[in-house]
Each structure stands twice: as structure tokens, then as C-alpha cells.
Copies of this chain bind each other. A is one copy, B any other.
Amino acid sequence: MPDLERPYRLAARDGQAEPTVVTIGQLRIGEGCPVVVMAGPCTVESRDQTLTTAQWIKAQGATVLRGGAYKPSTSPYGFQGLGAEGLEILAEARAVTGLPIITEVMDPRSVELVCRYADILQIGTRSMQNYDLLREVGKTKTPVCLKRGMSATLTEWLQAAEYILLGGNPNVILCERGIRTFETYTRNTLDLAAVPALRELTHLPIIVDPSQGTGRASLVAALSKGAVAVGADGLLIEVHPDPKNALKDALQQVTPEEFAALMHGLRPIADAINRGVA
């Protein structure tokens, strides 16, 4: 019988001392493993944009390709993603580069379809408390990257993870992506203290998204270094061949050249903490 006083059990460190390591082919994500860099465009806009970016980020040492086929758009008039066609493009990029792909699922009715393509399912910040969606991805075995709700406490976030774990899917990765505050210079306030705090509370892998977390391309490299230094198991970084003409989030995507410089600056930090980059 569950203890209702404890907000979560399966996600709790005190119930499982051993870190959960999520495995995708050869890649291992979790405490103690080399730092995993997931990179790619915010949104899959075209075959050419996606393949070009995938090859570039692979050449720089990224090991997972990110890209949105289904996009949550604050405005109903904004670009909503290419949908199934976007999934096909991602699959082609994987075939060409060998990189596993992470992509968002928003609708419980799409979980089955997205699972056919994705190596990692992303649950976005607006969906962190979409319990029907959590239950649906909990029924699969596909790794799930659960982003923090933009006003979620650590406890609420771990309770959301618990929904997935309870469904039978142990492969949950937590992704800090900034919380909403009064500050307006950055789009969100990236809460890097969440990384060591979660390490105390849970055995699940923890990654950081400095692109969403700051909303400013010029800050992404510094915060990537910071995230690795505080102990993150991975990074999720938006890269676009031509950010100014991106269909979404133009301000926060770095160029391929900026991404190369970012990776160059990141390695010494990852080495300094004896983890290296995957």
C-alpha cells in the first residue's frame, strides 16, 4: 500500500541508491557516464535543414539529434511543425548519421506513432502535468525526457516522473529548462541548482537545456559549461544553420560555428570533472 505522505517512491534516491542509466544503443546517459550532447534544430523545417544540421553536429561530437516534428505553439497562428513528415525526415537523418533522435510528443493519441520513430520521447514543459500523456508514455519502453514545467517545484516534477515510472517505463530522463520569474533579460531563469538538488533526491539522469533556459544564443555556451560543472549528465542544445530565418525560436538557436566553439569550450570542463563528453 502506498504511503500517501511520501510524494514519490519509485523516483526517490532513498529507494534506489544505484543511479538509473538510460541506454540507447551504445550510448549511456546517467550519473557517472560521459556527458551526452543532444543537439539540432528547435523544429524540423525541411529535409535539407535537418540533414545538414545533423551531419554538422555529429562532426562536432554530439551524439543525439534533436528536432521537433510536433511543436507546441503559444499562438494558434504559429508554426505547428511538419508532423508525420517531420518524423520521416528525422528517421532519414538518423539513417544517414547513425545518431539516435529525440523528438516531442504532445498528444496521447500520437504516442504510438512517435514511438515508431523516436529513440527518446520528449515531454515538453507545457505537458509536464498532462497526466494522460504521462500514463501513455509510461506504457512504452521508449526512454522519456521529461522537461520541467515552467512553474513546477522539484517535488511536482518528480511526481510527474513517478506517473511514468509507475506505468512500467523506468527510462526517464529529467531535463531542467528554466523556470518563469520576473526577470525579462532572459526568457526563463535556468535553475542550475536543480541539478545537484535532484541528485540528492533521485537516481534518474538529469540533463539541461540552456537554449530554452535562457532564450538567448549568446548565453548558451556559458550555461552549457555551467551545467556540466554542476554535474549534469547531458545537454540539449538548439542549433540551426541560419537562426535568423528559423521558423521558431530564432533568438535562442546557435549557428553551426557557435556550436563548434561551444563544444570546444565544453570539453575541458567535462575533463576537469573526470567525465569527458560521450
Interface on A for B, CB 8 Å cutoff? Answer: 2, 4, 7-8, 72-78, 80, 106-109, 126-127, 129-132, 150-151, 153-156, 159, 162-163, 166, 179-186, 189-193, 195-197, 200, 213-214, 216, 218-219, 222-223, 225-231, 265, 268-269, 271-273
- Complex CA gap A7/B269 in Å reads 36
- Chain B residues positioned under 8 Å from A222 (CB to CB): 193, 195-196, 229-231
Question: Do A185 and B154 have beta carbons less than 8 Å apart?
Answer: yes
Apart from the given pairs A8-B75, A182-B182, 11 other A-B contacts in the complex at a CB distance below 8 Å? A107-B132, A109-B109, A151-B151, A179-B182, A179-B189, A181-B181, A181-B182, A185-B197, A225-B229, A226-B227, A269-B269
Question: Do A196 and B219 have beta carbons less than 8 Å apart?
Answer: yes
Question: Do B185 and A182 have beta carbons less than 8 Å apart?
Answer: no
Q: Which residue of B lies closest to A160 (CB)?
A: B74
- Chain B residues positioned under 8 Å from A8 (CB to CB): 75
Question: Can you tell how many copies of this chain the complex includes?
Answer: 4
Q: Which residue of B lies closest to A188 (CB)?
A: B193
- Complex CA gap A78/B159 in Å reads 11
